[in-house]
A = this chain, B = another copy of it.
């Protein structure tokens, strides 16, 4: 977001500017989620990492770097931040002492528990204007678009150098 999404230059009805609307609404959803996390002193990027470690305990920093699509040196500073907050623990592997095995601390696990509530409150707020049926349809259409572009089900593409924005 950094961010900047231009705006549709063309069509005026929603069906001819779906790409812009996706970017615009997606950016809004992302920044509202960031606001909720700020109360915990966390950033959206932190949650993505905590979640991957929760699902893959003991994963190495290289694993994490390749899943996120970022450079290893960036993982160092991201994990540094989480470790200094007491959420993540590095354990030097005994089988290959070059590797760090990443684990959530007990506190990190608690935070992920609280994330459930934060996430569902966020979800409800974002789609508050839609009926239950509409939410279902929107979710299915978005999942279809996501799949057609090869997006992994649980990794956000925003870890890579994010341009300010776009339609």
Complex formed: what's the CA distance from A30 to B15 in Å? 17
In the bound complex, residues from chain B placing their C-beta under 8 Å from that of A47 are 6-7, 9, 166-167
With an 8 A cutoff between CB atoms, is A76 at the interface?
A: no
**Which of A20-28, A82-90, A93-101 is found at the contact surface with chain B?**
A20-28
Asked if A157 and B28 make an inter-chain contact with CB atoms under 8 angstroms apart, the answer reads yes
Asked if B130 and A134 make an inter-chain contact with CB atoms under 8 angstroms apart, the answer reads no
Contact size class for A?
35 or more
A59 to chain B, nearest CB (A): 15
In the bound complex, residues from chain B placing their C-beta under 8 Å from that of A9 are 47, 51, 112, 115-116, 119
In the bound complex, residues from chain B placing their C-beta under 8 Å from that of A141 are 130, 134, 137-138, 141
